[in-house]
Structures are given as structure tokens and as C-alpha cells.
């Protein structure tokens, strides 16, 4: 499955950009929320998500790069998030945040930065719908893929299989037609793509190039 990161979209024409995502046959819209503290960048938040929800039936995949996700997950769910990913490195209690997301009716996911070991998510796996493995340092679109992160995808997919869990593994950052190959082979089944998709002249064709490897 492909999740289009609107961080690289033309924000003044977001409705048209959403239409381009839908017409490209993409299933998910990836919505990056940054608070300027957890990462060195500030993006958009609740009111924008609410408007996006009104304009599309795409699966809304919200990636919270914020210091205290527990405080906000219910409101992101109310604004229409289907999946909510939060960082294990944030200040919120991980178990409580997972429970709060579930209670609010959204699907919980834990995100890990490149330096965080794959094993750190093991104790939560049976309560998660997805694990988000960052393949760049969170904060900005358009960065280069970090190859060492592929092994973490393999480790998490292996553990999920060992435990018999039906869980998604998402990769985010520097995903293009080349890096989609190794990450999919390692067990990623949600490919986030921002700059690669939005810089393509023909988004449907770019999606096709990602999908050749997508499982």
C-alpha cells in the first residue's frame, strides 16, 4: 500500500492535490504533524486535518512528531484520523497512548527514529495495528534514505510473524522506486512517499513504480 505524504504537496491547492492522490489510485494520505519541539520544524494540525477529512475518503494516516502525543490523540481521532502514529521517543507513556488511540476509535501505531532499536517496539506489538520505521531523521521531506534502517524492518516483520500478528510495517522517508524495492523485500507493506510522488509529472505512473515492489 502507498501513503502519499502531503508535506510535499502544494498547500494552497490542497483540494486539487488530494484529487491527484485519489486519481493516482493511492489508498492512504500521510499527514505529518510537527510541533517545533520534538523535531525542528512546524507543520499543520487539527483544523487542517478536519478539512481534509471532509474532502476525501482516503485512509488518513496521521504521523505525530510531537512531544506529548497522549494529550492530543483523541482530538486527532475526532478530526478524522484512521491511523495515528506517535513516537516511542516522545514524552508520553507508550501503553497509555496506545490505549487512548484505541479508545478514540483509531488504529494505533508506534514510530521509531533511525537510531532507535527495532526491539524497542516488541513489548507493544500485540496491541498495535502498525509500526512506523523512520528511514530518515524525522522533520523534513526530501532527505536521503538511511540504508541501515532496512534491517529494522526485517527484524520487526520477523517478530510479528513469529507471534502470528497481522500488523502493518510502514516506512517513511526517502522512499522512491529504488528504496521501495529493499524495504518491501524486508517486509514493509505501507510505503510513505512525499517528494518522489509530488515531483512526478505523472503521479499514477510513479505509484506504479513504487507498487512493482509493494506487497
State yes or no: is 68 an active-site residue.
Answer: no
State how far the Cα of 191 lies from the Cα of 60, in Å rounded to an integer. 14
10: annotated active-site residue: no
134-169 burial, b at 16+ Cβ within 10 Å, e below that, comes to bbbebbbbeeebbeebbebbbbbbebbeeeeeebbb
Taken in order 136, 110, 27, 50, the sign of the CA dihedral is negative
Residues 2, 17, 60, 63: which binds Zn ion (CB under 5 A)?
Answer: 63
Task: Answer yes or no whether residue 172 interacts with Zn ion by CB under 5 A.
Answer: yes
Cβ atoms within 10 Å of 95's Cβ, excluding its own: 11
Tell me the per-residue interface mask from 119 to 138 with ligand DX5, x by CB under 6 A, - otherwise: -----------------x-x
Instruction: Please identify, using beta-carbon distances, which residue of 63 and 107 lies nearer to Zn ion.
Output: 63
Using CB under 5 A, which residues numbered 23 to 42 contact Zn ion? 32
Q: Does 32 bind ligand DX5 (CB under 6 A)?
A: yes
Q: Which does 7 bind (CB under 5 to 8 A by kind): ligand DX5, Zn ion, none?
A: ligand DX5
CB of 5 to Zn ion, least distance (A): 6
Torsion angle, alpha carbons of 106, 112, 113, 116, to 10: 160
* Range 139-158, binding ligand DX5 (CB under 6 A): 139-143
Question: What's the chain's length in residues?
Answer: 215
- From the list 83, 48, 77, 54, the residue with the least C-alpha distance to 190 is 83
The residues annotated as belonging to the active site are 32, 172
Applying CB under 6 A, the residues found at the interface with ligand DX5 are 5, 7-8, 30, 32, 63, 136, 138-143, 172-175, 192-196
Amino acid at each position: 500500500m502507498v501513503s502519499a505524504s502531503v508535506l510535499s504537496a502544494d498547500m494552497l491547492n490542497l483540494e486539487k492535490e488530494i484529487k491527484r492522490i485519489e486519481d493516482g489510485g493511492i489508498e492512504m494520505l500521510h499527514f505529518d504533524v510537527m510541533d517545533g519541539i520534538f523535531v525542528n520544524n512546524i507543520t499543520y494540525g487539527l483544523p487542517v486535518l478536519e478539512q481534509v477529512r471532509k474532502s476525501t475518503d482516503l485512509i488518513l494516516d496521521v504521523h505525530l512528531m510531537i512531544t506529548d502525543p497522549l494529550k492530543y490523540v483523541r482530538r486527532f481521532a475526532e478530526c478524522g484520523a484512521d491511523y495515528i502514529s506517535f513516537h516511542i521517543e516522545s514524552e508520553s507513556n507508550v501503553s497509555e497512548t496506545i490505549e487512548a488511540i484505541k479508545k478514540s476509535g483509531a488504529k494505533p501505531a508506534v514510530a521509531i527514529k533511525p537510531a532507535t532499536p527495532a526491539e524497542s517496539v516488541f513489548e507493544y506489538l500485540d496491541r498495535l495495528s502498525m509500526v512506523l520505521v523512520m528511514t530518515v531523521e524525522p522533520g523534513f521531506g526530501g532527505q536521503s534514505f538511511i540504508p541501515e534502517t532496512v534491517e529494522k524492518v526485517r527484524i520487526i516483520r520477523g517478530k510479528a510473524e513469529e507471534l502470528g500478528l497481522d500488523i502493518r510495517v510502514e516506512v517513511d522517508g526517502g522512499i522512491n522506486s529504488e528504496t521501495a524495492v529493499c524495504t518491501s523485500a524486508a517486509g514493509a507493506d505501507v510505503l510513505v512517499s512525499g517528494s518522489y510522488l509530488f515531483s512526478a509529472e505523472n503521479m499514477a505512473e510513479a505509484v506504479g513504480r513504487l507498487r512493482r515492489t509493494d506487497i
